Amino acid sequence: MNKEILEGNWKQLKGKVKETWGGLTDDDLDVIAGKRDQLAGRLQERYGMAKEAAEAQIEEFTKRHGAIGKP
């Protein structure tokens, strides 16, 4: 995934992230600031998921919301 696209669209995507992962707080979203690795870490902490599961959910999210560039 092109991480710059997620970071660049973060303001627009924050609401969708909160809808998808309601366990994330506004403070979490501020810390994440569009950084994929930060998002994965927070998902692991809040939902007790493995790194691979967090990455898979993020990939699906970015595909669904048009937040990835073409490979």
Hey, what long-range contacts does 23-29 have (CB within 8 A, 24 or more apart)? 23/47
Print the SS3 string covering 28-39.
HHHHHCCCHHHH
> Which CATH number goes with the domain that contains 49?
1.10.1470.10
Give 31-64 pLDDT, tens digit per residue: 999 898 999 999 999 999 999 999 999 999 988 8
- Total of domains in the chain: 1
pLDDT of residue 38: 94
Instruction: With respect to residue 71, please indicate whether it lies within any of the assigned structural domains.
Output: no
pLDDT of residue 28: 95
Instruction: With respect to residue 8, please indicate whether it lies within any of the assigned structural domains.
Output: yes
Instruction: With respect to residue 70, please indicate whether it lies within any of the assigned structural domains.
Output: no
> Residue 7 above 90 pLDDT?
no
- Cβ–Cβ < 8 Å for 65, 13: yes
Instruction: With respect to residue 68, please indicate whether it lies within any of the assigned structural domains.
Output: no
